[in-house]
């Protein structure tokens, strides 16, 4: 009867712990974290303590001559020393897997992926099996299952570490490939531009030479003809939209250059008048480059999507660099159809003006910015002009 009560209490205690942790997680982090992650944290906390406890206690039985020690010493080992060891062990293990936890925390897609759900499922099963252990009457049997449980939790951790690492590497490789493709496009675009200008230069030299002969002969009619010829041609080439790409040479961060060139070329192809201003050399974005380009990507996509359907489609980008204050401002303005909007609404999860498939954009920007105290977003919307400013400080 007593064992049954202890068992019920133990089971009850564990379930209460898990539920409590998950509820607390929900209460404080629901807006910033996904359900799966909170569930994982709750389960992990309880299970890891149990698993390490099991390991340490069985190590104690093996290595410490418990048989020869007094009952008090054994109790002391189990009640005082083992929690301390668990704490220390926990600290080192979390330190070991913290880069992986960061990857998971930052990656909404991974949190929703089946792999992560699988880990959660296995953790739940482990908890279940752990709770069932005391039901075995045979002590040896109990110990085996106990050890099995501990090993399974540890191997689950290793599995998690490996999957996240793989996932991260894969993403990194994809990003590199994307960046390379963008830069290749950029080079092609610049080459075309160079060829255009070179062709123009060639024509121009010929015209000047023929102008010289005409001037020499005093043939005003021919001079006029040649002059008109030049005038007709040059604005076309000199005002070519793609000149804005030249400014990108001031960007010293290849990932950003790649992204901006890709998006600008895309916008130009869609017939959106796109201008970019960069006054000074751009050497640092004052935050993790991957996070920075994720935000820029979302802002640029939003701008392209919003201005696409307007009569006077334009996107105007400016990068203002203040080397003294170590502050960067990335300003992006675009045309919109609506006069104004309730801007604050746009930042709520899932809210969008463009149909159901969109709208996670600005929410994701917020998710990324949570980790940076020195980065902010400013938004304004008036006179059919929507503007976003990303301010980052070093």
Partner 1 sequence: MHINILEDDIIQQQKLKRYLVEILQENDWSYQQINTYSRPEQLLTTLTSRGTHHLYFLDVELKGSDKKGFEVAKAIRNHDPYATIIFVTTHSEFLSLTFKYHVSALDFIAKDQDAKDFKQQLENNLQHVVEQFNIDTPLDLFQFNTPKAHFKIPFSDILYFETQPGTRQIVLVGVAQRMEFTGQLQDIAAMDSRLFRSHRAYLVNTNNVEQIDKANNIIIFKNQSTCLISRRKVKALINIL
- Cβ distance 266 to 182 under 8 Å? no
95 touches partner 1 (CB under 8 A): no
> Which of 17, 90, 178, 393 is in the footprint of partner 1 by CB under 8 A?
393
Nearest to 387 by CA among 338, 317, 285, 296: 317
Closest CB to partner 1 among residues 149, 282:
282
Q: Tokens 């080397």 appear where?
A: 323
Where do we find the tokens 């990507």?
297
Among positions 64, 190, 197, 331, the unique one binding partner 1 when judged by CB under 8 A: 331
**In the window 221-250, what residues touch partner 1 (CB under 8 A)?**
none
Check if the beta carbon of residue 27 is closer than 8 Å to that of residue 10. no
Helix (H, G, I), strand (E, B) or coil at 191: helix
Asked if 8 interacts with partner 1 (CB under 8 A), we say no
According to CB under 8 A, which one of 279, 337, 348, 394 is a site residue for partner 1?
Answer: 279
d(CA 286, CA 391): 10
CA–CA dist 98, 102 (Å, integer): 6
Decide whether 261 or 334 has the Cβ nearer to partner 1.
334
Residue from 101, 154, 253, 369 in contact with partner 1 (CB under 8 A): 369
Q: How far apart are CA 87 and CA 92, in angstroms?
A: 9
Distance between CA atoms of residues 269 and 263, nearest Å: 10
- For position 340 contacting partner 1 by CB under 8 A, the verdict is yes
Kindly state the smallest distance separating residue 274's Cβ from partner 1, in Å: 12
CA-wise closest residue to 44 among 102, 122, 151 = 122
Q: Does 351 bind partner 1 (CB under 8 A)?
A: no
Binder among 212, 277, 288, 338 for partner 1 (CB under 8 A):
277
Q: How far is the CB of 387 from partner 1 (least distance, A)?
A: 9
282: β partners: 251
Contact between 379 and partner 1 per CB under 8 A: yes
Q: Which range, of 91-99, 138-146, 186-194, 364-372, touches partner 1 by CB under 8 A?
A: 364-372
CB 326 within 8 A of CB 286: yes
| Binding-site member from 113, 320, 353, 364 for partner 1 (CB under 8 A) | 320
Residues in the chain: 394
Interface residues with partner 1 (CB under 8 A)? 28-29, 31-32, 277, 279, 316-318, 320, 329, 331, 333, 340, 342-344, 347, 366, 369-370, 373-374, 376-383, 393
């Amino acid at each position: 009867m007593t064992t049954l009560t202890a068992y019920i209490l133990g089971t009850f205690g564990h379930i209460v712990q898990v539920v409590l942790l998950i509820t607390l997680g929900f209460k404080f982090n629901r807006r910033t974290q996904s359900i799966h992650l909170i569930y994982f944290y709750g389960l992990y906390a309880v299970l890891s303590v149990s698993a390490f406890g099991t390991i340490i206690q069985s190590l104690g039985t093996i290595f410490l001559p418990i048989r020869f020690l007094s009952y008090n010493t054994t109790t002391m080992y189990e009640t005082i020393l083992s929690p301390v060891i668990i704490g220390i062990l926990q600290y080192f293990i979390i330190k070991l897997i913290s880069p992986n936890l960061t990857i998971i925390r930052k990656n909404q897609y991974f949190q929703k992926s089946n792999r992560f759900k699988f880990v959660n499922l296995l953790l739940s099963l482990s908890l279940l099996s752990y709770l069932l252990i005391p039901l075995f009457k045979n002590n040896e049997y109990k110990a085996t299952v106990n050890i099995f449980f501990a090993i399974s939790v540890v191997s689950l951790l290793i599995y998690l570490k490996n999957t996240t690492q793989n996932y991260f590497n894969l993403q990194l490789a994809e990003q590199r490939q994307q960046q390379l493709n963008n830069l290749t496009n950029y080079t092609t675009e610049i080459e075309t531009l160079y060829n255009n200008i070179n062709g123009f230069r060639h024509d121009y030299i010929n015209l000047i030479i023929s102008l010289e002969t005409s001037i020499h002969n005093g043939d005003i009619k021919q001079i006029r003809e040649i002059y008109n010829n030049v005038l007709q041609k040059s604005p076309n080439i000199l005002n070519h939209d793609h000149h804005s790409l030249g400014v990108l040479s001031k960007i010293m961060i290849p990932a950003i250059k790649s992204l901006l060139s890709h998006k600008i070329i895309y916008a130009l192809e869609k017939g959106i008048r796109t201008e970019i201003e960069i006054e000074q050399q751009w050497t640092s974005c004052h935050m993790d480059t991957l996070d920075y380009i994720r935000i820029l990507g979302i802002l640029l996509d939003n701008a392209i999507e919003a201005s696409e359907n307007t009569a006077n489609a334009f996107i105007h980008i400016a990068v203002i660099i203040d080397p003294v204050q170590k502050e960067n401002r990335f300003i992006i303005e675009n045309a919109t159809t609506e006069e104004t909007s309730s801007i604050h609404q746009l930042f709520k999860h899932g809210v969008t003006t463009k149909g159901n498939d969109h709208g996670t954009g600005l929410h994701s920007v917020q998710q990324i910015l949570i980790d940076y105290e020195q980065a902010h977003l400013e938004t304004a919307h008036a006179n059919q002009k929507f503007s976003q400013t990303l301010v980052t400080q070093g």
